[in-house]
Chains A and B, each alone.
Chain A
Amino acid sequence: MMSPAAVLKRAAPVLACIGLLAIWQAAALVLKNDSFPTAIEAIRAIPDILGDKESLINILASLRRMAMGFGAAVLFSIPLGLLMGRSRAVAAFFNPLLMVIYPVPKAALMPIIMLWLGVGDVTKTLVIFLGVSLPVIYHSFEGAKAVEQKMLWSGAAMGLSPLQRLVRIVLPAALPEILTGCRTGLVLALITMITSEMIARQSGAGNILFNALDMGQYDTVFAMIIIVGAMGICLDAIFERIRARLVRWSEPQFDMPLSFS
């Protein structure tokens, strides 16, 4: 039996969602604007989208590109960040490069990349890759830099080679920080996914959204916004579960309850 406080804590995110939808519904009823459908109209459009084979294929294609871009970015960025964190030479080489790339909106690079690689999957996946890489590199770098020297010395005394120390000491020691970067990266992956599909209109969730906008199907537009938002929440919640399991050993941190886990 849960205490009332515990029940409230569990129910809080659901209540927040219901509250938001209620405000939306009321605002739409008051404003009576054609381009601002009520919450109920938007929610009613969701089954139509999810029931349509074409739309589902589009959404799945989006998710596939996102997964590929995110996966490639993580596989590339973690080793690079760790090396930068432990080697001054590597950091000195890559830091200025990253400083230049960091403030550039990755979507702004899209037209150029489209020119080179076309409007297909490769271009969009590459943009997602770029969007995810930087926070993951940065957090891996910070995490690796903060690893206690004496922990590495202890490993060296046990006979671990430099590579073994990087993989078996620096990587696990920096893991909480790395996963923080990955979590940011996951949200950025979703954002760049939609943006890339907005620029290169060919397929995907972003394509459905902007096509509906062009055709004045505003209930579909808002339904897609809800779907994309729900995807973000679900992905983040799943990731948070995995993260919490992987770094159970690390200090408990105060964290805003951003996920529903």
Chain B
Amino acid sequence: MNVVPSRSSEWVRPVTSHKPASAIIEIESVSQVFQTSARKDHLALSDISLTIDEGAFVSILGPSGCGKSTLLYIVGGFVSPTSGAAKIKGQAITGPGPDRGPVFQEFALFPWKTVLGNVMYGPRQQGVRASEAEAQSRSLIEMVGLKGYESFYPKELSGGMKQRVALARTLAYHPEVLLMDEPFGALDAHTRTRLQNDLLNIWERDRKTVLFVTHSVDEAVFLSDKVVMMSKSPGRIRQIIDIDLPRPRRRNELLLDPRYQKYVVDIERMFDESDGAGGPS
């Protein structure tokens, strides 16, 4: 796939254009209990409280089974918490809405629609005129590096390309918050790296709020302003770490940066201390 847009200076905005931080999402003592059998309950999330600032890139990092995806689904309104509440801009979240756009590991594209049809779906649902929705969608498809693939069906695309379509489809209806659920988890290492770079490029253009679930320490540190470390059984927040690395970030520079390396090593050590063997990844 040699269709990835090259990095150009117009994509890079100076760091000083940060909006003043204000909370966009508030999670207030959320707990989630799943009934695994008739007698046994599983406490997936225990008393989670978290505030996410507008325009921040926040990763939720933890081992599988720590409830990090569940937390994302609660913010998305797909799952109702057993107790506690999640709010967006002060309003309680009662269900899904176009202000929160999900991107799933499974892509969840509409297989009967072409690439263009998938990306246009949201704007058309929002009542945008067909011609306008198409023009916007075409430029989004170009932005995610899939120009020329507009009339392809999802089954004709590779995993990485599908996830690009899924990202464009979600960006197309202008959600205020992107909810990314291990979006690169099903991709091979090379594709994963490219998508991380491209996501960062796209994100640095308009600084949408992103809530990003991952079990990869590298990925979390590379992308995020803030990493929320979770532990499992029951899922609770261990620690929140601010990633104070300059933006725009370039992978080749960052990998050599001792500050980046220290974040990765520190976070891995903290996970090792908590559960003995193995970190989150």
* Residue pair B126, A249 in contact (C-beta under 8 Å): no
Min CB gap B53→A, angstroms: 22
Contacting A at CB under 8 A, from B103-162, are 104, 106, 108-113, 121-122, 125-126, 153-155
* Residue pair B106, A158 in contact (C-beta under 8 Å): no
A148 within 8 A of B: yes
Number of A-B contacts (CB under 8 A): 64
Q: Mark B211-240, 1 if CB is under 8 A from A, else 0.
A: 000000000000000000000000000000
Residue of A nearest to B106 (CB): A150
Of A167-175, A211-219, A227-235, the one touching chain B: A167-175
With contacts A148-B106, A160-B125, A251-B155 taken as known, whether A153 is within 8 angstroms of B112 at the C-beta atoms is no
A157 within 8 A of B: yes
A33 within 8 A of B: no
* Residue pair A153, B102 in contact (C-beta under 8 Å): yes
* Residue pair A157, B102 in contact (C-beta under 8 Å): yes
Give CA–CA (A83, B155) in the complex, Å. 27
Number of residues of chain B lying within 8 A (CB) of chain A = 29
With beta carbons under 8 angstroms apart, the residue of B77, B95, B97, B108 that contacts A154 is B108
* Residue pair A250, B110 in contact (C-beta under 8 Å): no
Residue of A nearest to B169 (CB): A154
Min CB gap A150→B, angstroms: 4
* Residue pair A250, B111 in contact (C-beta under 8 Å): yes
Best-buried of B78, B154, B155, B169 by chain A (most CB within 10 Å): B78
Residue of A nearest to B155 (CB): A251
Give CA–CA (A99, B160) in the complex, Å. 44
A146 within 8 A of B: no
Q: Mark B192-210, 1 if CB is under 8 A from A, else 0.
A: 0000000000000000000
B279 within 8 A of A: no
Give CA–CA (A250, B96) in the complex, Å. 28
With contacts A160-B125, A249-B153, A251-B155 taken as known, whether A154 is within 8 angstroms of B112 at the C-beta atoms is no
Which residues from B are CB-within-8-Å of A160? 125
A101 within 8 A of B: no
* Residue pair B100, A157 in contact (C-beta under 8 Å): yes
B81 within 8 A of A: no
* Residue pair B112, A175 in contact (C-beta under 8 Å): yes
Which residues from A are CB-within-8-Å of B185? none
Give CA–CA (A124, B97) in the complex, Å. 49
With beta carbons under 8 angstroms apart, the residue of A151, A153, A250 that contacts B155 is A250
A159 within 8 A of B: yes
Min CB gap A151→B, angstroms: 5
Which residues from A are CB-within-8-Å of B125? 158-160
Binding site for B on A (CB under 8 A): 148, 150-151, 153-154, 156-160, 169, 172-173, 175, 247-251
> Can you list 7 A-B contacts with CB-CB less than 8 angstroms, sorted by A residue number?
A148-B108, A150-B106, A153-B102, A153-B108, A156-B78, A249-B111, A250-B155
